A and B are shown apart, each in its own frame.
Chain A
Amino acid sequence: MNRDQALFEFLLRMGDSTLILSHRISEWCGHAPVIEEDIALANTALDLIGQTQFWLELAGEVEGKGRTADNLAHLRDAWDFRNLLLVERPNGDFGKTLMRQFLFDVWQSLMLAKLKGSSDQRIADIAEKASKEVAYHVERSANTVISLGDGTEESHQRMQDALEDLYPYVGEMFIGDKVDEVLVKAGIAPDPASLRAEYDRIVGDVMYKATLQLPEDDFAHQGGKTGRHTEHLGYILADMQFLQRAYPGAEW
């Protein structure tokens, strides 16, 4: 695998993860428990769409086959997506959505902090811009996880259930492969495993404040980063891609 091939894969992993999570959160639009949270979730979804545009546009450029960010988002099938399995998990209740968001936000903020020092200036620039948005996301999701975890008996139980359900999807974020090896060597991206200690520290701290118990089992589902997805991604794509598939080339 040469450098550009690895870079293309990596950019898809970044862009597809933000794209699919953005779509998932946008499903809350008009349905959140209170209007303030509704707006906040929509804002986060829009931030993530903005980041997706940067990642996928650069991916298309690196690939060199003339594909735009829109082409990549709307005209690939599930096995060509490289997003983390975590972000395609169903929303569940509001608390579970925010738990998933928090588990992702912490990873993303650590990843972007490293990417700001990437040897590839285009990546460093995207990371610089995105990390301000993500700093806010992580503050917001952490606060909500703490409030609901350390809230009523029912909210605590729901958050504990959400954590146990989602935690097996955390490990995938830190498992490296050939793609990462090439990029680490080129100074473009960090070794995913190198983010784990800091991640565990931050997540552990928030879970402690939220009075939630981290599962001890470290089992990790994986496959998203190489195109092996859960059944949920197909439904997301059917929803997201319908318009471009039914009316090819349609524009606003």
Chain B
Amino acid sequence: MSNEWPLWEVFIRGQHGMSHRHVGSLHAADAESAMMNARDVYTRRNEGVSIWVVEAAHIAASAPGDKGPLFEPANSKVYRHPTFFDIPDDAGAM
């Protein structure tokens, strides 16, 4: 058995209307203290309006070895990008 506290992944929403972004990870004994640690470690300079913490063990991640089958098929399909359209100036930034 490990004496280490579990690892938590921290997600911060920078401002209202934006989505939460992964900012890093930390160790904490439980969700409540993970939240507090996240506040102290990642929002000291006014970075956020909302925090999510997720125990890292609960995140299912793709294996680096699967990179080829998962992502390479998309490489040769330029037609999936909307780069062939002229964007009217009125539409603004996309």
Question: Would B37 and A40 count as touching, CB distance under 8 A?
Answer: yes
B77 within 8 Å of A (CB atoms): no
Q: Which of A32-52 contact B (CB under 8 A)?
A: 34, 36-37, 39-40, 43
Query: In the complex the two chains form, is A36's CB within 8 Å of B32's CB?
Result: no
Give 1 or 0 for each of B1-20: 1 = CB within 8 Å of chain A CB. 00001000000000000000
Contact with A along B30-45 (1 / 0, CB 8 A): 0011001101110010
B41 A36 Cβ-Cβ under 8 A: yes
Which residues between 127 and 150 of chain A lie within 8 Å of chain B, taking CB atoms? 136, 139-140, 143-144, 147
Are B44's CB and A147's CB within 8 A?
Answer: no
A140 CB contacts on chain B under 8 angstroms: 36
- Which residues of B have CB within 8 Å of A40? 36-37, 40-41
A143-B27 in contact (CB<8A):
no
Which of chain B's residues has its CB closest to A42's CB? B40
Tell me which residues across on chain B come within 8 A of A43, comparing CB atoms. 40, 44
- Given A39-B41, A43-B44, A147-B29, A34:B5 Cβ within 8 A: yes
Using CB atoms, name the residue of chain B closest to A147. B29
Count of residues in B whose CB is under 8 Å from the partner chain: 13
| Interchain CA distance A143-B37 in the complex, whole Å | 12
Residue of A nearest to B39 (CB): A136
B-contact 0/1 string along A102-144, CB 8 Å cutoff: 0000000000000000000000000000000000100110011
Contact A34 B27 (CB under 8 A): yes
Cα A43 to Cα B39 in complex, Å, equals: 10
| B49–chain A nearest beta-carbon distance, Å | 15
Within the assembled complex, what's the spacing in Å between the Cα atoms of A122 and B28?
39
Provide the residues of chain A in CB contact with B5, threshold 8 Å.
34
User: Min CB distance, A89 to chain B, in Å?
Assistant: 24
Asked if B26 CB lies within 8 Å of chain A CBs, one says: yes
Q: B32: which A residues are within 8 A, CB to CB?
A: 143
Cross-chain contact B40 with A39 (CB below 8 angstroms): yes
Question: How far, in Å, is B51 (CB) from chain A's closest CB?
Answer: 13
CA distance A140 to B35 in the complex (A): 10
Given the complex of chains A and B, what is the CA–CA distance between A88 and B66 in angstroms? 58
The distance from the CB of B39 to the nearest CB of chain A, in whole angstroms, is: 8
A139 to B33, CA, bound (A): 10
Contact (A36, B27) CB under 8 Å given A43-B44, A140-B36, A143-B36: yes
A97 to chain B, nearest CB (A): 16
Given A36-B26, A36-B37, A36-B40, 19 more pairs with CB closer than 8 A: A34-B27, A36-B27, A36-B28, A37-B37, A39-B37, A39-B40, A39-B41, A40-B37, A40-B40, A43-B40, A43-B44, A136-B39, A139-B36, A140-B36, A143-B32, A143-B33, A143-B36, A147-B29, A147-B33
List 10 A-B pairs, minimum CB-CB distance, nearest first: A36-B37, A40-B40, A43-B40, A39-B40, A36-B26, A39-B41, A140-B36, A36-B41, A34-B27, A43-B44
- Between A and B, 10 residue pairs with Cβ closer than 8 Å are A34-B27, A36-B40, A37-B37, A39-B37, A39-B41, A39-B44, A40-B36, A40-B41, A43-B40, A147-B29
